[in-house]
């Protein structure tokens, strides 16, 4: 590694934190700049005075097979903050029919559970599931609808909500290749790869605060409320970082990881290809303890709510691909979603204290057209790398993809420092 090498990481979301902690763990000096007043980006927690408690901006489900996330948590000493059942169980309710069922897959890659009607979605056959193997071989330009019919009991009661949550895009119009990538890492590997895990007690405790402490212990400098205004590029390398109050010159031994949203990156980097179409997510938080026996995660069919998360002190709801409702008034959304929660969990209480969190540009639209616009982490400048769930990670815009992108960018920087 070159003496005097230093890494500047721009953006303290999960991609930036993954890159910064990876580099710091290898003994590289790190300076982290974040435009906001706190770290975490779209994976953050904060005290809400109206709610009178700490809430997450959204509900991020982790699966036991998300190896990059676990590598990151092991590095920062925070793996204990992911909790979930020992067995892979997914509970569902259909609010229209009142039907309830629990998906009970087996651990191994050979899906013998499909032969048991009591373990699969009611009204489905083993052959229905096998048909989805076509997604594993989909082409880059194909949508899910090009590969499979977007209908049927399995589609309505499992695959549509599952793929919508993973892709944050109408699954029928979404990239079949990205859908296949999700299946390869989850359903195709057996239930040991997709046991659900939730950050406990909140996202900051699991993903953010331990990372900042890790960086502090290793002498990294972290600056909040510092928005990068411009980057000076030479023919072969980034030469300077310009902030409102100072310009940071870069030596030949300095590396830069840009881990910001795509619309910010596009303004900073000339001729950068990146996604331009985005999809929203709506999250609701209700200050009401989950009823005894409520499943920690409940999939909802036939309502506006899609996933209900039960905590000791609150109930949270996520609606993915929420463009149809994101512009509704917050109080209207709270009433609509609480009605779904009450019906799903058997609650008769009126609307409690609540908070609605809207993310209008939560993720890029996971369509073939937008997938084709994702850049790789390596750029034409030898000391400048990209990170973010919108880069070409091979996955849709998930926190697993965000962490992988940061790890990739850090590995590229380390390789350059070793030359």
The CATH number for 248's domain is: 3.50.50.60
One domain for residues 211 and 165:
no
165 and 21 within one domain: no
Binning the chain into helix, strand and coil, the percentages to the nearest 5 are: 35, 25, 45
Predicted pLDDT of residue 397: 97
Cis preceding-peptide flag for 201 (omega within 30 of 0) = yes
Question: Could you tell me if 168 and 251 lie in one domain?
Answer: no
- Give me the domain span that covers residue 33: 6-46+203-276+367-418
Q: Where are the beta strands (DSSP E) in 245-398?
A: 247-249, 254-258, 278-286, 297-301, 307-310, 315-320, 354-364, 384-386
Query: Over 50: is that where the pLDDT of 3 sits?
Result: no
Of 193, 228, 256, the one marking the end of a domain is 193
Q: Could you read off the pLDDT of 130-179 as tens digits, one per residue?
A: 999 999 999 999 999 999 999 999 999 999 999 999 999 999 999 999 99
- pLDDT band of 126, cuts 50, 70, 90: very high
Higher pLDDT, 175 or 4: 175
The tokens for 168 are: 């944050």
Q: Does the residue 108 lie in any domain?
A: yes
| pLDDT for position 85 | 87
* Tokens of residue 31, six digits: 């300076």
Give the list of residues 6+ apart from residue 327 with CB closer than 8 angstroms, or none.
Answer: none
Last residue of a domain, one of 193, 214, 240: 193
Residues 221, 116 within the same domain: no
Place of tokens 């209900």: 308
Q: Is the pLDDT of residue 211 over 70?
A: yes
Same domain, 259 and 158: no
pLDDT at 43 over 60: yes
Domain identity same for 407 and 265 = yes
Point out the domain boundary residue: 139, 159, 193.
193
CB atoms under 10 Å from CB of 414, counted, come to 18
Is the same domain home to 173 and 228? no
406 and 258 fall within a common domain:
yes
Question: Residues 267-324: pLDDT tens digits?
Answer: 999 999 999 999 999 999 999 999 999 999 999 999 999 999 999 899 999 999 999 9
Predicted structure pTM score = 0.96
* Domain presence at residue 289: no
Q: How far apart are CA 280 and CA 130, in angstroms?
A: 31
Q: What is the pLDDT of residue 50?
A: 84
The pLDDT assigned to 279 comes to 98
* Residues 265, 160 share a domain: no
Name the one residue in this structure whose structure tokens are 């119009």: 173
Q: Which of 106-110, 182-186, 199-203, 408-412 has the highest mean pLDDT?
A: 408-412
Q: Is residue 63 part of a domain?
A: no
Phi, psi of 145 (to 5 degrees): -65, -25
**Domain assignment of residue 290, yes or no:** no
Spatial distance between the Cα atoms of 104 and 93, rounded to a whole number of angstroms: 15
* Cross-strand bridge partners of residue 82: 199
Residue 223 lies in a domain: yes
Would residue 105 count as lying in a domain? yes
269 domain residue, yes or no:
yes
Residue 268 and residue 132 share a domain: no
pLDDT of amino acid 61: 87
If you average pLDDT over residues 90-102, what whole number do you get? Answer: 97
- 323 located within any domain: no
How many domains does the chain fold into?
2
R_g (Cα) of the chain, nearest Å: 22
Examine the domain organization and report whether 117 and 242 are in the same domain: no
107 and 185 together in one domain: yes
Res 4: pLDDT? 57
């Amino acid at each position: 590694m070159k003496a005097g090498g230093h890494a500047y990481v721009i953006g303290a979301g999960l991609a930036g934190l993954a890159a910064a902690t990876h580099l710091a763990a290898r003994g590289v000096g790190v300076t982290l700049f974040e435009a906001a007043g706190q770290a975490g980006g779209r994976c953050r927690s904060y005290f809400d005075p109206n709610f009178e408690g700490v809430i997450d901006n959204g509900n991020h489900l982790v699966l036991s097979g998300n190896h990059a996330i676990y590598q990151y948590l092991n590095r920062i000493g925070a793996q204990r903050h992911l909790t979930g059942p020992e067995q892979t169980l997914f509970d569902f309710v259909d609010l229209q029919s009142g039907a309830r069922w629990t998906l009970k897959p087996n651990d191994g890659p050979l899906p013998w559970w499909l032969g048991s009607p009591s373990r699969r979605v009611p009204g489905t056959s083993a052959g229905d599931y096998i048909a989805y193997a076509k997604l594993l071989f989909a082409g880059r330009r194909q949508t899910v609808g090009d590969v499979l019919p977007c209908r049927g009991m399995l589609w309505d009661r499992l695959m549509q909500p599952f793929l919508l949550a993973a892709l944050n895009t109408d699954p029928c119009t979404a990239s079949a290749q990205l859908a296949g990538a999700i299946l390869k890492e989850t359903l195709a590997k057996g239930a040991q790869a997709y046991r659900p895990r939730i950050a406990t007690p909140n996202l900051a405790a699991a993903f953010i605060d331990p990372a900042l402490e890790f960086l502090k212990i290793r002498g990294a400098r972290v600056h909040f409320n510092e928005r990068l205004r411009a980057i000076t590029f030479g023919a072969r390398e980034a030469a300077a970082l310009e902030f409102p109050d100072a310009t940071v010159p870069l030596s030949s031994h300095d590396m830069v990881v840009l881990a910001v949203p795509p619309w910010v990156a596009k303004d900073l980097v000339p001729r950068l290809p990146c996604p331009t179409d985005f999809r929203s997510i709506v999250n609701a938080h209700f200050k009401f303890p989950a009823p005894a026996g409520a499943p920690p995660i409940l999939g909802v069919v036939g309502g506006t709510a899609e996933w209900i998360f039960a905590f000791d002190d609150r109930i949270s709801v996520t609606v993915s691909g929420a463009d149809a409702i994101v512009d509704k008034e917050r109080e209207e959304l709270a009433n609509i979603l609480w009605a779904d929660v009450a019906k799903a969990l058997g609650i008769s209480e009126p609307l409690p204290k609540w908070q609605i969190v809207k993310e209008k540009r939560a993720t890029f639209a996971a369509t073939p057209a937008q997938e084709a616009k994702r850049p790789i982490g390596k750029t034409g400048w030898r000391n400048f790398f990209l990170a973010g769930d919108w880069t070409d990670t091979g996955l849709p815009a998930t926190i697993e993809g965000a962490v992988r992108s940061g790890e990739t960018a850090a590995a590229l920087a380390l390789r350059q420092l070793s030359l």
